[in-house]
Structure 1
């Protein structure tokens, strides 16, 4: 029986333009990333669930435009002029809510970028009206930004996402594993990430190759653990 050599290596996401798989569920968002001259007032808000490709597309645009990429949680008002020396990507701006200093910094950054004609790309998991922003002027500005949404994956995209997640972890499952998983996991990016991470750990622990039978057993274990966790919370 063949054995897959497993090493506990960190997953390194491939974030190049050619590594992003285009399908009907994300084609519009990709088209907007590729045409920043069409963004209203030079700004775009990229929305999608965890694992949907927001960060990947942010890196694609940054490479094309020479933009810097920062986390919204690192924003400081004193840094705003320096940050706007180039186009800028601000990731996870929905996480700044109810933090007055962060909201104020973003407000001033938004205004200065507009005055200087500097392009901005934001990423978030939902629309601004759902964030609970406490600065009304910031809320109104962000709600007016043009948006692009990464939809839940279709079958083709889910298969491609699974392939990429395995590749990022330097795993080589048997050829029938990915089609098997695509038909049996929840139709979401989070589910794909969860199952690949679980298979990576299980294969490492067992010193086994990732076959269809191994993947089936791992799925059963994930479901059992989930059911047990739900029962404990009731």
Structure 2
């Protein structure tokens, strides 16, 4: 894979490429694997915070030898346009990832706008229950811990399903388990969820 000189966050094939696949992101996973079918060799990957965009992009790089750009919505038009042209010249697929819909990228360069419009759009939807359970298990397994089936069942049926909530709740359960010196059971999960919901219900303080 050739190197690109622009000061962009371009992925390396030597990084970790693991991510979970369930029904909620299976179509996304398949579209990324079919990079050789992308129009003009370019795709845009959209997903919320914590949805696994970086991990998916690194897997794409390792399989295709292509490039990816993180937070593409924040890259200047001329740099992004130059990268698109460079990728075309090198015959390398290009993946642009962002947490924002393309309509909110504020693209001013007409040539870039037309090229993005012609690119395949790949979106990561909200997590399903299987994904939530898998992410909780992965979070604690990486820390040498485990979460009980009761805790997983409790959270899967009650929590608001979003990738960010999985991260926040996992962190809260970890802290509570350490403070109470207890394993991560339904009681810990219940306390963490109550704490999270109370914090989410607090009104935001307006700055004067």
User: What range describes the TM-score normalised by the shorter chain of this pair?
Assistant: 0.7 to 0.9
Q: Which residue of 2 aligns with 1:205?
A: 179
1:220, CA displacement in angstroms? 1.2
Q: Residue 43 of structure 2 aligns to a residue in which SS?
A: strand
For residues 151 and 207 of structure 1, do their structure 2 counterparts lie closer, same or farther at Cα, with a shift above 3 Å needed?
same
Instruction: Please list the CA deviations of residues 6-65 of structure 1 after superposition, one character each: whole Å capped at 9, or x if unmatched.
Output: xxxxxxxx944xx43322221111112212211111111111111112112112112223
RMSD: 2.3
**TM norm structure 1:** 0.73
For residues 135 and 152 of structure 1, do their structure 2 counterparts lie closer, same or farther at Cα, with a shift above 3 Å needed?
same
Q: Which residue of 2 aligns with 1:84?
A: none
Q: Which residue of 2 aligns with 1:230?
A: 203
> Which of 85, 90, 104 pairs up with 1:111?
85
Q: Which residue of 2 aligns with 1:8?
A: none
Listed as ranges, the gaps of 5+ residues in structure 2 are 1-14
Q: Which residue of 2 aligns with 1:129?
A: 103
After superposition, residues 132-211 of structure 1 pair within 5 angstroms as: 132-211=106-185
State the structure with bigger RCO (CA 8 A, min sep 6), 1 or 2.
1
Number of equivalenced pairs: 193
Q: Which residue of 1 aligns with 2:9?
A: none
Say if 1:25 and 1:154, in contact at 8 Å, map to a contact too: yes
Q: Which residue of 2 aligns with 1:90?
A: 69
1:231, CA displacement in angstroms? 6.2
Residue 192 of structure 2 is aligned to residue 218 of structure 1: yes
Q: Which residue of 2 aligns with 1:78?
A: none
For residues 160 and 138 of structure 1, do their structure 2 counterparts lie closer, same or farther at Cα, with a shift above 3 Å needed?
same
Distance in structure 2 (CA, Å) of the matches to 1:49 and 1:63: 23
Name which of structure 1's ranges 51-60 and 167-176 shifts more when overlaid on structure 2.
167-176
For residues 231 and 89 of structure 1, do their structure 2 counterparts lie closer, same or farther at Cα, with a shift above 3 Å needed?
closer
Q: Which residue of 1 aligns with 2:27?
A: 28
Q: Residue 97 of structure 2 aligns to a residue in which SS?
A: strand
Distance in structure 2 (CA, Å) of the matches to 1:22 and 1:50: 17
Distance in structure 2 (CA, Å) of the matches to 1:166 and 1:136: 47
For residues 28 and 231 of structure 1, do their structure 2 counterparts lie closer, same or farther at Cα, with a shift above 3 Å needed?
closer
For residues 170 and 132 of structure 1, do their structure 2 counterparts lie closer, same or farther at Cα, with a shift above 3 Å needed?
farther
